Structure 1
Amino acid sequence: MPQRFLIADDHPLMRSALRQAVGQAFAGVEIAEAARYEQLRRILEEEPEPDLVLLDLHMPGTSGFIGLMMLRSEHPAIPVIVVSAAEDPVTIRRSIDYGASGFVPKSAPIGQVAEAIRAVLDGQIWTPASEDAGEGADGGLAERVVNLTPQQLRVLAGMAEGKLNKQIAYEMTIAEQTVKDHVTVILRKLGAGNRTQAAVIASQLSLRPPPE
């Protein structure tokens, strides 16, 4: 059975570049593409499970690292390589802390993309050799959010964007009371005293899009 990869990035040129890199390095590979986080989730639910996902942190429909954590929570067996224009050591470290098996800068040459994929498929963690990602980049936040369920992560993403419970309930097609129940559990798991504190913590999981 041929290998199957999923490229998730909202920029067509970046998807094309990644497709070229993957196609040159892995003969006969099948490649699926997603431009939005909802499309990524639909592909994972409806199509054969990929061997690996190449994920942009700034896809529409998600909020920074929360999208990565939702993906890892819903599909823990699928390795994920973050491909991002944000190449600072803190972003690299956080990507690994929140579940990625690798991190590839968007400026990386084609050969480095293939190298990262091979390493991750072999069970390794891959980051740029020149980067010192440091330790404890988020002050233990990863440990506090690791036990959130996929639905709780989606509620947290809404809170990070300043949405009301009513809006979150509508987008998730669940009852508003269910959202309130999730918020209560989220506050406890994050050690937050109120919704505002939880939103501040959630904002630490978001990323500003890099300059074009």
Structure 2
Amino acid sequence: MSELNLLVADDHPLLRAAVVHSLRQGLPQVNVREVASAEALEQALDQHPDVDLVLLDLTMPGAHGFSALLHVRGAHPDIPVVILSSNDHPRVIRRAQQFGAAGFIPKSVPPETIGEAVAAVLDGGLWFPAMAAERSDADALLASRLAQLTPQQFRVLLCLADGLLNKQIAYTLGLAENTVKVHVTAILKKLECHSRTQAAVLVKALEPEGDAGLV
């Protein structure tokens, strides 16, 4: 078997260490990289295009719930993402699946289960616990709208959600202010929002227990 390149994204060092140990115990010839924030995740994927799978926590710094999942799926659609979370409510699991995750591993599972789940996804399958929650049309609509955004527009949207002004967004992302204005206009159009506040509310809906509230 050729070497597998996995990326574990979680801001808790002890949890990362436990996950890495489980992966190395369960999968032969595995190379594991670790990051602790949404920004570091994005940089790692840009620098290492050979990543085969991402294990992603939902509560990292810089992430708005499922925003990191959606960003990875939009910018790197060929890389499967498996959510690793302590919040295993059926609705959270269902939302992860609707937003493009290939699997969902509760942090409460036995260590050997992590390797089994990752192996199943790497084989082209899906790995989810049994779910009682039903599919949400609002989440499906939200996901389809967000999928229209380019990776740069998604970054701008997250800055909007943090309440940054165009000048601040330009400084944060290294863009010209006029470029930010163009992105904001395109974002509002694609998301069918009439204001920056309305767009920020959509990002809030990406929180694990958020309600998209779309019509």
TM-score by length of 1: 0.91
Deviates more, 1:177-186 or 1:199-208: 199-208
| Superposition pairs of residues 1-212 of structure 1, within 5 angstroms | 1-47=2-48, 49-129=50-130, 131-136=131-136, 138-139=138-139, 140-207=141-208
Q: Is the 8 A contact 1:7 1:32 kept in 2?
A: yes
Consecutive unaligned residues of structure 1, counting only runs of 5 or more, are none
Q: Percent identity, please.
A: 48
Letter in 2 for 1:122: D
> Deviation of residue 55 (structure 1)?
0.7
> Residues 122-151 of structure 1: CA distance to partner in whole angstroms, max 9, x if unpaired?
21221113x324211644211211111111
> Deviation of residue 48 (structure 1)?
5.2
Consecutive unaligned residues of structure 2, counting only runs of 5 or more, are 210-215
Q: Is the 8 A contact 2:26 2:116 kept in 1?
A: no
> Deviation of residue 120 (structure 1)?
0.8
Query: Structure 2 vs 1, CA of residues 84 and 137 (structure 1 numbering), >3 Å: closer, same or farther?
Result: farther
SS in 2 for 1:59: coil
> Deviation of residue 77 (structure 1)?
1.0
Measured in 2, the distance between the counterparts of 1:36 and 1:47 equals 16
Query: Structure 2 vs 1, CA of residues 82 and 188 (structure 1 numbering), >3 Å: closer, same or farther?
Result: same
SS in 1 for 2:45: helix
> Deviation of residue 207 (structure 1)?
4.6
Measured in 2, the distance between the counterparts of 1:175 and 1:23 equals 44
Measured in 2, the distance between the counterparts of 1:135 and 1:14 equals 30
Measured in 1, the distance between the counterparts of 2:111 and 2:160 equals 37
Query: Structure 2 vs 1, CA of residues 206 and 165 (structure 1 numbering), >3 Å: closer, same or farther?
Result: farther
SS in 2 for 1:76: coil
TM-score by length of 2: 0.89
Measured in 1, the distance between the counterparts of 2:39 and 2:192 equals 29
> Deviation of residue 18 (structure 1)?
0.5
Q: Is the 8 A contact 1:56 1:83 kept in 2?
A: yes
Q: Is the 8 A contact 1:36 1:61 kept in 2?
A: yes
Deviates more, 1:102-111 or 1:13-22: 102-111
Letter in 1 for 2:7: L
CA RMSD of aligned residues (A): 1.7
